[in-house]
Chains A and B, each alone.
Chain A
Amino acid sequence: MTRFIVPPYLLAHLAAAESPRLHRAPRAAQNGLLAMSGVDRNAAPPVVRSAVDAPGRADGLDRSISDAEGAEELPGRRVRDEGGPATGDVAADEAYDALGATYALFDEVYGRSSIDGRGLPLDATVHYGRDYDNAFWNGERMVFGDGDGEVFGRFTASVSVIGHELAHGFTQYTANLVYQGQSGALNESVSDVFGALVEQHLFRQTADEATWLIGEGLFLPDVQGRALRSMSAPGTAYDDDVLGRDPQPAHLDDYVDTTDDDGGVHLNSGIPNRAFFLTAQALGGFAWERAGRIWFDSLTGGGLPPTATFAVFAAATVTAAEARYGVDSSEAAATISGWRGVGVEPVA
């Protein structure tokens, strides 16, 4: 039985997309649509699940988009419900689509219905504030600004951003890593990991094909930078006259001790980010299948304290890899070497 992971309406959207950002996605989407149309009618129907637009969903995808209309009151005015038609407002429709892609990753790859595993509604608010150059998770919903028109455009323009914000909800419902210091950097890294995997899964990219960039497409054209963060090469995402250079460390030796940013959670996330990248690169293929599975198991396994340090988290990923693939598996070995590659020794 042929199984299609990206739902038809998303494939059609990608196939028609002309954004220069989408390199192989439109071609891949065309191929996906062609393959779908050639399905043997006598075979079992293709498993096209989860993110397909259809009213009255029974399987847990329940999205809503609201519009804050430039104010800072939440939730804002409801503009789209699950299964509802596109609004024509780019930010609202991008959020809706990417919420679906996030749900699709968690449901189809990991068997988890929404971020809490029980079909929690996925709610987003767009057009928050004025010149608001940010996006965040408020404990219940995701909130997106339109950018400041100088450095940033709208924050819904990158699938990885939406996946990142929803993944904060996923972390909240699982390991609930404390948003401070090392556990906070891990919290941030988990969001980058699953944000990247949502994007890679959507575009069917292998670990080698993926950009490993977070927030690609948020910067306005004059900014000298590709993205906000690079998981493969932390510290190289941007180098701009006004913003300065990407300050992320790529190794524990360069861990930043600071009181800024809740103890540098967006800085030091570079270290576990690269550990994940190295693990995924060593294993090859689609990163969500094995490296992502190991990280998912670590967060949902129940053995991770909210105050986990890098070493404790690393140990949990090794334990998870050994549990799923075996103590002497290449998966466990790749996980250990991934962490050692950034100077972290997995020690519980």
Chain B
Amino acid sequence: MIVTVQRTGGFAGLTRTWQVDVEAEPDTDAWLVLLDHVPWSSAGSRVAGVQPDRFVYVISADTRPRRKARLPESEVTGPWRELVDRVQQTASVDAARPEGR
């Protein structure tokens, strides 16, 4: 089950994407708990002041039903921050592993 973090914006305006297949991870249950904890339905609803050149995140999960949230960087805190950090770190580790793990 794929979790995707897409990051756009920032000063450089680059698009970067990190993905993790949580079912292929040794701690799948911890992932599922975290995915349940992030507040999907209230994401991006705060009227925050604009901070130019900050990132924009779109986080999605192939859960049932499929979940998706768009967040300004300033709202990536608490459980969202934990999820984004985990996806970025895990995706990097997975990418560094030899082919075919």
Contacts and interface: CB of A to CB of B under 8 A. Distances in A.
Interface string A159-198: 0010011001000000000110000000110010000000
B12 A165 contact: no
Contact of A262 (B6, B9, B14, B49): B9
A187 B6 CA distance: 23
A168 B11 CA distance: 11
A157 to B, nearest CB: 12
Interface string A260-273: 11100111000000
Interface residues of B, number: 18
Given A139-B49, A261-B8, A266 B54 contact: no
B10 interface: yes
Interface in B53-94: 53-56, 70
Contacts of A168: 52-53
Nearest to B13: A266
Contacts of A260: 6, 8-9, 15, 56
A260 B56 CA distance: 8
A136 B53 contact: yes
A134 B56 CA distance: 12
Contacts, number: 69
Given A243-B14, A260-B15, A137 B53 contact: yes
Interface residues of A, number: 31
Given A261-B13, A266-B13, A267-B13, A134 B53 contact: yes
B15 A133 contact: no
Contacts of A267: 13
A291 to B, nearest CB: 23
Interface string B5-23: 0101111111100000000
A348 B9 CA distance: 29
A215 interface: yes
Contacts of A138: 51
Identify whether the interface residues of A are mostly helix, strand, loop, or mixed: mixed
B33 interface: no
A228 interface: yes
Contact of A266 (B6, B12, B50, B70): B12
A139 B51 contact: yes
B52 A137 contact: yes
A155 interface: yes
A262 B11 contact: no
B54 A136 contact: yes
Contacts of B54: 134, 136
Nearest to A142: B53
Interface in A139-169: 139, 152, 155, 161, 164-165, 168
B9 to A, nearest CB: 4
A243 B16 CA distance: 9
Interface of A: 133-139, 152, 155, 161, 164-165, 168, 178-179, 187-188, 191, 215, 218, 228-229, 243, 247, 259-262, 265-267
Given A135-B53, A218-B12, 6 more contacts: A164-B53, A191-B52, A228-B12, A260-B6, A260-B15, A266-B12
Interface of B: 6, 8-15, 49-56, 70
19 contacts: A134-B11, A134-B12, A134-B54, A135-B11, A135-B53, A137-B51, A138-B51, A139-B50, A139-B51, A164-B53, A165-B53, A228-B13, A247-B13, A259-B70, A260-B6, A261-B8, A261-B15, A265-B13, A266-B9
**Closest 6 pairs (CB-CB, A-B):** A266-B13, A136-B53, A260-B8, A261-B8, A168-B52, A261-B9
